[in-house]
Structure 1
């Protein structure tokens, strides 16, 4: 029973550490010196390229399955 409690405590600590790291990463990305429009353009470009890759992959799967 104690091993389960210890494992849960370790998992809780790990989860708290992950949340802290994510919050630090979010804060550091907001406090960067670049302007918001540059980040927005970069995010838009990444999103569009991801969607294009996804669409191409789906089309290839459909073509291969025919």
Structure 2
């Protein structure tokens, strides 16, 4: 199993999202997982289900304790 597939399963990432890269930094004890939307995928409102333009594409950082 490839690292991208493994992290997608661990994190519960499903279509239209995908893990695009995984980087391991042992000295910092850090794993960086980049998640992107699949090419051509449309975003839907989680409340009403209508197709949406989206509103935010900035990068975020999450730290698991």
Task: Provide TM-score, normalisation by structure 2.
Answer: 0.17
Work out which structure has the larger RCO, using CA pairs closer than 8 Å and 6 or more positions apart in sequence. Answer: 2
Greater fraction of residues in helix: 1
Q: Give the greater-gyration-radius structure (CA).
A: 1
Greater fraction of residues in strand: 2
Task: Provide TM-score, normalisation by structure 1.
Answer: 0.17
